[in-house]
Structure 1
Amino acid sequence: MKRIIFATTNEGKMKEVKSILEDLECEVVSLKDINLDVDIVEDGKTFEENAIIKAKTIMELTNEMVLADDSGLEVDYLDKAPGIYSARFLGEDTSYRIKNQYIIDKLENATGNERSARFICAIAFACPDGQISTTRGTIEGLIGYEEKGENGFGYDPIFYVPEFNCTTAELSTNQKNEISHRAKALKEMKERVLTKLAR
């Protein structure tokens, strides 16, 4: 059976990815699954550039097909911060509880649409034949006034989706995999992966 490496060690993310790609006729494995521990410097200026850096690095190390993502939260009131620095925001080892509270505190005087924000995800697909492509998915929402919900990870508990009247951490796994930024980017990429696997 063919396999694709998804360049992450994040178990929450991997759970989402496997669920969205479960109908692919191939095995999807994480860096943890293949015992690959590599420190990648993500010095790109965009989500796409960082996703490509990750996918290309792992593809060159393994000579296998690799998917990688770079995703983050843009808060308009904070000039689109944390953006591409979402994972490293306030320091890499800072818990998301602290990061989330920091954002809530910063938006203390913001109301209504002033609290607008979006999750963005770029997916890169790197193949040993040198072919690289990217897709992007976005979900629009608002920053909540407190953390809510136990599902999801990262900034999910403060990202409120008006159409569902709850945060992404309150959505069921199935709902989230329908509307999330990662789901949108992965579903578009899935078509390209299928084409590649068919060859």
Structure 2
Amino acid sequence: MSTGWVTGNLYRLCDWFYRLAFLNLLWIAFTLAGFILFGIFPSTTAVFTVIRKWLRGENDVPLVRTFLQSYRKEFFHSNRLCLLFGLAACILYVDLKFVQTLQGAAFIFLTSIFSLMIILFVFTLIYIFPVYVHYEMRTLLYFRQAFFIAIVNPFQTILLVLASVLSFYVTMMLSGLFLFFGISGISLLIMWYSLRIFRYMDWEMKKHLASES
């Protein structure tokens, strides 16, 4: 194994760490700039936009400018997504609290139903940002596409959710790690896997169209 190969790969690894840390700091800064509630979705969208470009080989894109452009461009639209997710979460929460007042078979049945709905809600949420930055759609279609990907790939989605939760837990437990990799690291994991799904879906679509022609 040549020294040049080791040095080159070490440099690329350090470069990824640097870029992810800087991106995470941008996420924190602009989430706070949007008073958290109005900043978290635009900042997260900007993180996924930048990471998508990196994973597609666009390593030389200006990080700060790309982040800011996405943040400004998607500020209102992404907050519309945030509002819809927030409303859905509130409805699920209120309904679940109501179900908890029931007893007997009704409690067991409705708790099972709402537990499944919460799982599907989380599954949809984990794909919404990759879908949003990858496709051009009307707002509600982003939810449908993210939901479709989740239910078509249930086992892979479960593993992705578990890996994301574990990554979040590790970065929170290790002092200072969340500050540099808490969001950017998880976003890299989700975007990398989502791009694999998107490529497979595109390949299946092209194969289907070719068989019909």
Same-fold call, TM cutoff 0.5: no
More helix per residue: 1 or 2?
Answer: 2
Q: With the length of structure 2 as denominator, give the TM-score of the two structures.
A: 0.28
Q: With the length of structure 1 as denominator, give the TM-score of the two structures.
A: 0.29
More strand per residue: 1 or 2?
Answer: 1
Q: Which structure: larger Rg? A: 2
Greater RCO (Cα-Cα under 8 Å, separation 6 or more): 2
